[in-house]
């Protein structure tokens, strides 16, 4: 924006100088003159923006602000050095617990605000939701990955997309997916069996790498639940020496698969992750390096594959509906649900294949990685806290003792299972940060925010706040969710942000909870997580709380 302004002003200045005789009346300003004028205007303006305005003139300068900044980079380097994507936010929240919002400086000393009070969360996510949009830098980071779908739509377009998709993600449709979740949960059990069979200690135990196992589960589940196709990856995982050491096993044929593309995009490694986040500030995707080429190829493969699948499914469903041969009650995948509602007169009439593609890309990005991380952290907690695992297993065993084939409604009603999952989601919120940008001047919890200001909404700020959850906010205690233990602050809608809140709340929340509960019932009933063999390390920078290197030892329950 500053460069465009200065370029226009430089051109205007040059022609003004020409009109008063600074140039030959028949001549035009040379390129060198224009560049000199541009530089003379641009450099002082940037100096003012970077080194003067944030400290001396900004209306936000009186807000609580961390001072350990790097020249020009602000807190950007500290974010990269942090042990997790949310470490600094939690530190600032505890340093200024009563502040409505906190300010920090990032690349180019740009000001960013952090929502810090329950009221600021309420205004950002609910009452003033549509007065904010996704920031430009966020679009540059993830735009190539997620296409155009409900996540990055704004205003009326977003409202219309949510209305179209509401039926697809309603409770009845979500419960149609239970047989799929149950079948995939059994494949995780089979994976644990192969880990035990491949164990070298002869003690009936085996070790699995949590992210490898659960990312395979969630992506394979995505294939069936969202697309109606089998991706068949779980059954192909082996436990040879490379896998035991946590190394990636490369495809021998070198060809593209969904899983290979998914890994490149969502688990890109240190340099790939740095490039993704750096692109939000400075364009780097054009650099001719392997990570960029692999990223572009993976995105192109996923989009082309999904586009073909979507086109074929729409044609199949709509042809069958016209011919009267379609059996709607048998459909069990989200793509088919959407195709059903795209018929004339349906709630999704007018939805284009382009937007269906965007929705599917976003369901994969938002659902697959986050669920895999939640499951991995759950295995970690169960291994570390055997008493929690014992209580959870006892509750599930009691259910199955009374009814060998319980309905999902009975599973859903298990109080300790529900509390355990909520506690994991509180401690390790699936999305590390949500970013918003003010579309006009407004206030957040009484603080004036000018148009264009970016605000970070971080679940950990409320999830780990001792003023809300007590002095043991960092500890794992599922019992805190029991009605008799909750306080007024804990019951506040915005104290728990695992799925966000307001008009942009996660559209797949119901399906995600069904998936998690179905899997836990299957694996906790049959297997014990004995101990953590390799402690997890947070991937950072990252948009999610990803526990890399986590390896867990497991054995059958006798």
Q: Are residues 262 and 280 in the same domain?
A: yes
Structure tokens at 268: 């890109």
Q: How many CA atoms lie within 13 A of 217 on its CB side?
A: 31
Q: Are residues 338 and 261 in the same domain?
A: yes
DSSP string of 509-551, one letter each residue? HHHHHHHHHHHHHHHHHHEEEEEEEE--EE-SS-SB--EET-E
How many folded domains does the chain comprise? 3
List Cβ neighbours of 386 (8 Å cut-off, separation of 6 or more). Answer: none
- Select from 388, 366, 420 the least CA-distant residue to 528: 388
CA distances to 114, 118, 166, 334 from 175, rounded to whole Å, are 37, 32, 14, 12
Structure tokens at 547: 């526990």
325-381 pLDDT per residue, tens: 877 766 678 888 888 888 887 777 778 888 888 888 888 777 777 888 999 999 999
- Select from 230, 244, 250, 263 the least CA-distant residue to 194: 244
Q: What is the pLDDT of residue 498?
A: 92
171-213 pLDDT per residue, tens: 888 888 888 889 889 989 999 999 998 877 778 899 999 988 8
Q: Are residues 158 and 106 in the same domain?
A: no
Q: Are residues 351 and 396 in the same domain?
A: yes
Angle, to 10 degrees, between the axis of helix 31-47 and the axis of helix 2-19? 130
406-432 pLDDT per residue, tens: 999 999 999 999 999 999 999 998 888
88-122 pLDDT per residue, tens: 999 999 999 999 999 999 988 899 999 999 999 99
The answer to whether the beta carbons of residues 310 and 357 sit under 8 Å apart is yes
Q: Are residues 267 and 174 in the same domain?
A: yes
Is residue 6 marked as binding?
Answer: no
Sign, CA torsion 85/87/90/91: negative
109-161 pLDDT per residue, tens: 899 999 999 999 999 999 999 999 998 888 877 777 777 788 888 899 888 88
Domain end residue (candidates: 478, 497, 516): 497
b/e burial code for range 317-345 (CB count within 10 A of at least 16 → b): bbeebeeeebeeeebbbbbbbbbbbbbee
Q: What is the pLDDT of residue 141?
A: 78
Q: What is the pLDDT of residue 490?
A: 92
Q: Are residues 461 and 372 in the same domain?
A: no
Q: Are residues 530 and 402 in the same domain?
A: yes
Domain end residue (candidates: 51, 67, 85): 51
Q: Are residues 341 and 398 in the same domain?
A: yes
The answer to whether the beta carbons of residues 527 and 556 sit under 8 Å apart is yes
Query: Range of 130's domain?
Result: 58-138+436-497
The CATH number for 68's domain is 3.30.43.20
Domain end residue (candidates: 51, 76, 92): 51
Q: How many CA atoms lie within 13 A of 4 on its CB side?
A: 1
Q: What is the pLDDT of residue 28?
A: 55
Q: Are residues 321 and 268 in the same domain?
A: yes
Q: What is the pLDDT of residue 142?
A: 78
Longest dimension (CA), the chain: 97
């Amino acid at each position: 924006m500053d460069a465009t302004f200065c370029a226009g002003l430089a051109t205007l200045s040059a022609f003004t100088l020409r009109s008063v005789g600074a140039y030959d009346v028949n001549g035009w300003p040379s390129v060198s003159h224009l560049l000199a004028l541009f530089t003379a205007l641009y450099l002082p303006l940037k100096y003012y923006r970077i080194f003067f305005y944030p400290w001396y003139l900004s209306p936000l300068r009186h807000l609580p602000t961390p001072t350990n900044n790097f020249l020009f980079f602000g807190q950007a380097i500290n974010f990269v050095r942090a042990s997790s994507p949310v470490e600094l936010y939690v530190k600032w929240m505890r340093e200024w617990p009563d502040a409505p919002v906190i300010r920090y400086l990032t690349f180019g000393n740009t000001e960013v605000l952090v929502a810090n009070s329950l009221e600021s969360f309420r205004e950002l996510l609910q009452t003033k939701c549509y007065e904010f949009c996704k920031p430009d830098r966020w679009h540059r980071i993830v735009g190539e990955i997620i296409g155009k779908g409900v996540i990055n739509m704004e205003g009326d377009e977003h409202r219309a997309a949510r209305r179209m998709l509401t039926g697809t993600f309603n409770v009845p449709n979500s419960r149609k997916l239970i047989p799929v979740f149950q079948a995939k949960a059994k494949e995780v059990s089979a994976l644990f069996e192969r880990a035990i069979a491949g164990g070298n200690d002869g003690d009936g135990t085996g070790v699995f790498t949590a992210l490898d196992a659960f990312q395979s589960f969630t992506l394979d589940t995505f294939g069936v639940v969202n697309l109606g196709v089998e991706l068949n990856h779980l059954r192909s995982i082996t436990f040879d020496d490379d896998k035991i050491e946590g190394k990636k096993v490369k495809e021998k044929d070198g060809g593209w698969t969904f899983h290979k593309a998914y890994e490149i995009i969502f688990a890109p490694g240190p340099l790939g992750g740095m490039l993704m986040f750096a692109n939000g500030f400075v364009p780097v995707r054009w650099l001719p390096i392997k990570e960029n080429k692999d990223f572009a190829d993976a995105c192109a493969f996923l989009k082309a594959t999904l586009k073909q699948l979507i086109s074929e499914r729409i044609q199949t469903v709509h042809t069958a509906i016209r011919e009267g041969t379609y059996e709607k009650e048998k459909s069990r995948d989200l793509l088919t649900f959407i195709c059903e509602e795209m018929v004339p007169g349906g709630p999704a009439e007018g939805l284009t294949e382009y937007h269906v593609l965007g929705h599917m890309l976003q369901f994969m990005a938002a659902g697959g990685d986050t669920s895999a991380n939640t499951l991995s952290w759950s295995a970690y907690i169960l291994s570390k806290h055997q008493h929690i695992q014992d209580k959870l297993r006892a509750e599930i065993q009691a259910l199955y003792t009374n009814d060998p084939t319980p309905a999902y409604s009975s599973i859903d009603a298990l109080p300790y299972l529900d509390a355990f999952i909520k506690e994991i989601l509180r401690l390790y919120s699936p999305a590390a940060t949500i970013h918003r940008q003010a579309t006009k001047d407004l206030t957040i919890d009484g603080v004036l925010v000018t148009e264009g200001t970016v605000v970070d909404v971080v679940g950990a700020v409320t999830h780990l706040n001792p003023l809300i959850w007590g002095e043991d906010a960092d500890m794992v205690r599922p019992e805190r969710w029991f009605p008799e233990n909750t306080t007024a602050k804990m019951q506040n809608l915005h104290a728990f942000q695992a799925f966000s809140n307001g008009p942009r709340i996660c559209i797949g929340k119901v399906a995600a909870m069904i998936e998690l509960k179905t899997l836990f019932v299957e694996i906790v009933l049959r297997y014990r997580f004995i101990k953590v063999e390799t402690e997890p390390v947070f991937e950072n920078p990252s948009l999610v709380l990803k526990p890399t290197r986590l390896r867990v030892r497991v054995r059958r329950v006798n």
